[in-house]
Amino acid sequence: MRAQAPTHRPTWVAVLCSMMLLYAGFSLVFGLMKLRRPTLVLEGGITQVADSQAAMEARQRLSAARLAAVQPRQTAVRVEAGVEIAVSLLALYAAAAVLSRDRHGRTLTLAVAGLGIAYQLGTSLLYLPMLRTFAEHGGDPRLGMVGDVGEIEPRTSDEIASALGAGLVLTNGLAVLGAVVLIGFFGGHRGRALYGLTRQEPAKRPGA
């Protein structure tokens, strides 16, 4: 059965498309930044350090550990960034198609959701070993990190890698959950009904 262009735009469509636009826009910017500077992937949990000798030494050790972890995988990180950019652009196009009531909007959204899940699983396979390498090269000495009040807080490279890993798992998990929600709505009864893919039961004759 061929999908038909929707005749209306339910509230759930507007909400999900808004989420797609926000997430895809952020991913597009982040992907472009990673494409230019691959070491960015290990800078998320590292704040600015105070202007002191201990802080400068900590920053140097962190930079060396980050470079040792990312440099052998620069090509893989850039490929991953390219995939993220492509998926983000497709998500923006799919959201625009849904909002403009294009009959292909449902198919595009389901494709984006499937690609998004595959992408998130792939990034985990790339980044988790990278975080282990980062922790190994960071060494055992405690690294001074600046807290919210500007005080030096001792943290080991293992603790920093664990924090980055937890952030990665949380971010990927939320992205996968969002993709599952898209599949549930657009692939389920609501999506099929919106695009005219539900079969209409023939009307029964009186007395039949």
**Distance separating alpha carbons of residues 174 and 163, to the nearest angstrom:** 17
Point out the residues of the chain with pLDDT beneath 50: 45-49, 140-141, 144-152, 203, 208
Residue 41 is predicted with a pLDDT of 81
| Paired tokens of 140 | 């055992």
Residue 148 is predicted with a pLDDT of 37
Phi-psi region for residue 137, left (φ > 0), alpha (ψ -120 to 50) or beta? alpha
Question: Which residue ranges make up each domain of the chain?
Answer: 11-194
For residue 46, give the nearest of 169, 135, 174, 161 by alpha carbon.
161
Q: CA dist 160 to 23, 37, 62, 66, Å?
A: 26, 20, 10, 11
Q: What is the pLDDT of residues 57-71, one digit of tens each?
A: 667 777 787 888 888
Q: Which residues are paired to 144 by β-bridges?
A: 154
Distance of CA 47 to the CA centre of its chain: 21
Residue 190 is predicted with a pLDDT of 94
Residue 15 is predicted with a pLDDT of 96
**Distance separating alpha carbons of residues 85 and 76, to the nearest angstrom:** 14
SS3 content of the chain, % helix, strand, coil (to 5): 70, 5, 25
Q: What is the pLDDT of residues 170-194, one digit of tens each?
A: 989 999 999 999 999 999 999 999 9
Residue 44 is predicted with a pLDDT of 55
Residue 150 is predicted with a pLDDT of 40
Residue 26 is predicted with a pLDDT of 95
